[in-house]
Each structure stands twice: as structure tokens, then as C-alpha cells.
Amino acid sequence: MPHVITQSCCSDASCVYACPVNCIHPTPDEPDFLSAEMLYIDPKTCVDCGACTSACPVDAIKPHTKIDASEKVFLTLSEDFYREPRKYPILAKPVPRLEVSTPDRLRVAIVGSGPAAMYAADEILTIPGATVNMFERLPKPYGLARFGVAPDHKRTRQVSQQFDDIAARSGFQLYTGIEIGKHLTQAELLAHHHAVIYAVGASADRPLDVPGMGMPGTTSATDFVAWYNGHPDFKDREFDLSHNRAIVIGNGNVALDVARILTIDPARLAYSPIATQALDALHDSKIEEVVVVGRRGAANAAFTVPELVGLCSTGGIDVSVRADELDGSGTKVDLLKNLPRIGTGTSKIEFRFWKTPVRILGGETVSGVEFSNTQTGELEQIPAGLVLTSIGYQGRPVQDLPFDETRGVVPNEDGRVSAGTYVTGWIKRGPSGFIGTNKSCAQETVRALVDDFNNGRLRAPGTRTRDLTARIGRLRRDAR
Ligand code: NAP
């Protein structure tokens, strides 16, 4: 009776370490971990002990007898993942414990408090006597786990409970409302700690460079996400929801989130953590249809299968695709070929493929987008009163650190920028992967840091912990 991993899989691999029979793959050591859309339980070797269900921070794992009809695809995906011949071997190398070979107590500053930061803290706090001071610019912690996950993705949001547990551990201190580069410098952090880890994410959205962008009615999906999640920098933003059609350019998981939030019955969000002003605006919204436009075919769409399954099973929304745009093969194509019959929903999401934006149409405000067919060059205009670009996040330069403008990351080797300075998460590897992908990413960075610590490459802090507390106390008094 196997267990099955379902839509909200966060890929943090806690289940991998909990499983006594190594039947969950890919593990963080395996070559396909970073490219995998989720983790899979081998139905043939699962002993049904349930250890993975308690380890999973997002309640994604169920016994196969408890999955509903829309989740059956996950059992099939698991069977397919283990079907031989496999492209990559199944390895089950256990990750060795971190060993510290010096009597010094490691003191680390972490900048940022999102998933990458919290997983790094979790790892450091496994070292006896180690302490972590975490610095967050915003008044509330957890970054994209709070301000990026859609409010109706309740199980994914549960990962915050795991972060609460980490934050409650002895040796951990969080300072909110402190911006590094403005209130404290990198040099000050290094004076108070052996090392600094930057886990600052990719806070900008990738700009779309076509004529008309910036016209009223155009915006980025990342701003819209931050707004409906109550991000303090975006709470006063206004979005024109008075037209009946919106276009989302790009078809990654963020595009699916915004398309779903724009079309879902707002009553279903009433008891979610959505921002009140966003819920009010969605109640008054006239949007009935969202067109999600991708520049490649369905087989190569950027959304993942679990998120497509979740979208298609959201009640009240008709999901459709044009048969003449649906080619290629694979699970995404199969799911889109077998969409439920439309006509039962009160709103609609249409996937369009093979279209790249050429220009934004309109004058004082947006009236639509002109696309070019990426196979034939044929132009097509799609009318809409709101255009959201969802073409990815982008890292910003970090004061005092080198920056790779092309990739939008801080250049690093396994997380090490230089002895004493490290990066983890999206600022280290670029904006891809899921919340849990940051766990193995943070493990790699912390291992590089501990290696430097053990080999005497880190300078001991020149101050005591209470000097830092006093400095932050002065900052807070000055801010009042
Ligand atoms: P993404 O997955 O990188 O998707 C970006 C989309 O924009 C792709 O469709 C891409 O097309 C398109 N694009 C890029 N440049 C373009 C251009 N100049 N013109 C037209 N289209 C362009 O980014 P994302 O959706 O922002 O997601 C970021 C990461 O967060 C992903 O790893 C995602 O899985 C993760 N995330 C996960 C969840 C979840 O699991 N629930 C939710 C939100 C985000 P091409 O594919 O052709 O490049």
C-alpha cells in the first residue's frame, strides 16, 4: 500500500531522510534532483510506514487509498519515475553530519529570512554551541514563503510552521526591520560574526522589453503576487480589474498562480491569508477570462505538472487550450489534451502557445497585446484591459559583493564568495526551483562555511554578542 507525494511537494527532501528504506527519489545527492519537478515514492519498495508523512512540512504525502480522482496522476507519475531504463541511476548516499573541529563557538549572520535563510539557519544550528543572528528588512520574516506563495496553497504555506520551529531553537535570533547596506554594513556584520551568509533572493522581476510596457494597465505578476499577499511595499498598489479579460505573458508557476487568483471565486479565498484589500478588490473584479501565453509549446511549458493538476482541479474555472496549438508529447500535453469539458465554470483560463509578445496595444491605457507566432511569424492581437508579465524574477546587486549582471547572481563556488562571505538560495543559483530546493542548496553553502571555519580561514568576531544587541538597540531608538 504505497504512499504518494502530491501537488504541494516542496522538494525540501525531509521525507528522503525520514524514509527507512530509501524509497524516495531523487535525493539531493542524485543528478536529477535540481531539475525534478517534485519527489517520488517508489510504489514497489514503499513499506507504508508513514515516516515520510510526519516529516513532510507541507502535508503533500498521502496513502494511495486516500488520494482523490484528480490526484491519481501522481501515482502514475511515481510509477513512471521508477520505470526502467532510467536516465539517471538511483543512488542513496546519506548526507554526513556536519563536524566542527575547533572549540570556538561559530557565530553566523544571515541576511534575509526567506526559505534559503531559514534552511541555512537550520543547518548551522545542528552544530553544538553555534549561534545565528538573522537580519530581515521587512517587519515580518519568511520572504517568499509568506509573500510569494498563493493564499489558496494552504499546504505549501504550512512550511512556515517548520520555520517557526527553527526560529524557536536556542542560538537563533531574528532582527526584523534591519536592512544591511542601510542600517548595518557588511564590515560591521563581519566584526560581530565569523561569517555572513546572504540569502537575499531575487527581488526584482525580469523586465519585458517591448514597446508599450509601462503603459497604465501593464504590470508585473510578481508585483501582483506581492500585493495579494500583503507585502508592505505593495499594499497600496492598485490594479485595474474593471475589464473582462487579462493577459499573462509567460507560463511558469507564477503565471498559473496569478491566473488562478484572478479567476477563482473570491469566496474560496475568504479564510485564506490573502490581504484584505486584495480580497475586496477581487470581489469587485470584472475579470472573467485570463489568457496565459507562452512562447514555446505545451511540452516545454515552464509550469510544472503538479501545479497544472492543481489548476485544472480548481472548482469554478474552465481551463481550455486550442487543439491546433497543442503538439508534442509528455504529461503536460496529455493533461491538456484531456481537460474536463468546459462550460461548468463561472470564469475561464485559456492557455495559448507558440506566441511571443511584440508590442503592447493601447494609448492612455492598455487595450491588448500583439503577439508573433514563434513558428510562423504570423501576428495576432489579443484584446485585454490588464497585462501581467510573468517572465521570472531577477537578482539585484548586493552592496560590497561582486555581481554577475547576466545571470543576476553573486558569483560563488558552492556558496562561497570569499572566506567569511557566502550566498545561498536564488542569489546563489538564480530564480528556479521550489521552496524545499533551498534546503540542499543551504546545506552545500553551510558545508563550505564550516570547512573554512575548521581550516582557520575565518576571523573570530572582535566583539561580544551584547555589543551587537546594543548597536541594534541604538538603531531602533534612532528610528523612533
Ligand atoms: P519561470 O518558471 O522561469 O517562467 C518564466 C516564463 O517566462 C517562461 O514561460 C518563459 O518562457 C517566459 N519568458 C521569459 N522571458 C520571456 C520573454 N522575454 N518573453 C516572453 N516570455 C518569456 O518563472 P516563474 O514562473 O517566475 O517561477 C520562478 C520559480 O519559482 C520557478 O522555479 C517556479 O517553479 C517557482 N514557483 C513555484 C511555485 C509552486 O511550486 N507553486 C509557485 C511560484 C513559483 P520560456 O520557458 O520559453 O523561457
The C-alpha angle 94, 97, 101, rounded to 5 degrees, equals 145
Cα–Cα distance list, 149 to 35, 154, 155, 211, 235 (Å): 20, 9, 10, 31, 16
Give the single-character DSSP code of 300.
G
> pLDDT tens digit string along 68-85?
999 999 999 999 999 988
Our mutation pick for probing the ligand 1 site, out of 158, 224, 295, counting the most ligand atoms within 8 A of Cβ, is 295
Q: What CATH number does the domain located at 107-203+395-479 have?
A: 3.40.50.720
> pLDDT tens digit string along 162-186?
899 999 999 999 999 999 999 999 9
Q: Which of 129, 130, 340 is nearest to 120 (CA)?
A: 130
Atom 15, ligand 1: residue with shortest CA distance: 391
Phi-psi region of 242 (alpha: psi -120 to 50; beta: other; left: phi over 0): alpha
Cα 443 to middle of ligand 1, angstroms: 25
Which atom of ligand 1 is closest in space to residue 296's alpha carbon? Answer: 47
Atom 30, ligand 1: residue with shortest CA distance: 432
Domain 3-81 class in CATH: alpha beta
pLDDT reported for residue 86: 85
Averaged pLDDT for residues 301-325: 94
Q: Is 239 exposed, middle or buried (0-12, 13-18, 19+ CB in 10 A)?
A: buried
What is the rounded CA–CA span in Å between residue 97 and residue 110? 21
Cα 223 to middle of ligand 1, angstroms: 15
What is the rounded CA–CA span in Å between residue 171 and residue 128? 10
Top pLDDT among 437 and 384 is at: 384
Atom 26, ligand 1: residue with shortest CA distance: 392
CB 77 within 8 A of CB 332: no
Give the 3-state secondary structure of residue 297.
coil
Which atom of ligand 1 is closest in space to residue 205's alpha carbon? Answer: 26
Which atom of ligand 1 is closest in space to residue 393's alpha carbon? Answer: 26
CB 180 within 8 A of CB 257: no
Q: Does residue 461 have a cis peptide bond before it, meaning omega lies within 30 degrees of 0?
A: no
Give strand ranges (E) for 354-420.
355-362, 366-373, 379-383, 386-389, 393-394, 416-418
Confidence of residue 101 (pLDDT cuts 50, 70, 90): confident
Q: Is 313 exposed, middle or buried (0-12, 13-18, 19+ CB in 10 A)?
A: middle
Atom 19, ligand 1: residue with shortest CA distance: 356
The domain spans of the chain are 3-81, 107-203+395-479, 206-393
CB 393 within 8 A of CB 204: yes
> pLDDT tens digit string along 391-416?
999 999 999 999 999 999 999 999 99
pLDDT reported for residue 181: 93
Atom 22, ligand 1: residue with shortest CA distance: 391
Which atom of ligand 1 is closest in space to residue 295's alpha carbon? Answer: 47
Which atom of ligand 1 is closest in space to residue 153's alpha carbon? Answer: 41
What is the rounded CA–CA span in Å between residue 430 and residue 320? 31
Which atom of ligand 1 is closest in space to residue 304's alpha carbon? Answer: 34
Cα 255 to middle of ligand 1, angstroms: 7
Cα 88 to middle of ligand 1, angstroms: 25
> pLDDT tens digit string along 319-331?
999 999 999 999 9
Averaged pLDDT for residues 360-387: 97
pTM: 0.89
Cα 413 to middle of ligand 1, angstroms: 25
Which residues approach ligand 1 with their CB closer than 6 A? 208, 249-255, 257, 294-296, 302, 304, 307, 356, 390-393, 431-434
Residue 106 in grid coordinates: 561559530
Cα 47 to middle of ligand 1, angstroms: 36
What is the rounded CA–CA span in Å between residue 351 and residue 326? 10
Confidence of residue 303 (pLDDT cuts 50, 70, 90): very high
pLDDT reported for residue 3: 93
Q: What CATH number does the domain located at 206-393 have?
A: 3.50.50.60
pLDDT reported for residue 1: 60
Cα 336 to middle of ligand 1, angstroms: 18
Cα 148 to middle of ligand 1, angstroms: 13
pLDDT reported for residue 301: 97
